[in-house]
Amino acid sequence: MSRKDDLTGRTPMSGFRSSHANNKTKRKFHLNLQKRRFYIPEEDRWVTLKVSTKTIRTINKNGISAVLREAARQGVLTAKI
């Protein structure tokens, strides 16, 4: 299972871990992914999605239907909805 947001398609960023002596080693900045169920009233069904906490805040603000439409319009929708 990949660490990818189902609605936005965001993936982990890469960067460097820096020691006190300023030595650099590669690391990844992972998303804060949560598995959540959302109710879609237009289709009268529940959908389980793996989304980041930033996406959950966007869903709370705009609604699940608007976020799904926007994701489909941008072609980023990776979940089978």
The per-residue pLDDT for range 38-64, each reduced to its tens digit, is 999 999 999 999 999 999 999 999 999
The CATH number of domain 13-74, selected from 2.40.160.20, 2.30.170.40, 1.10.645.10, 3.90.1150.10: 2.30.170.40
Express as a percent the part of the chain with pLDDT over 90. 83
Q: Where are the domains of the chain?
A: 13-74
Q: State residue 59's pLDDT score.
A: 96
Residue 31's pLDDT is: 95
- Taking alpha carbons only, the member of 7, 55, 53, 10 closest to residue 28 is 10
pLDDT per position as a tens digit, 1-10? 689 999 999 9
Residue-level pLDDT at 78: 60
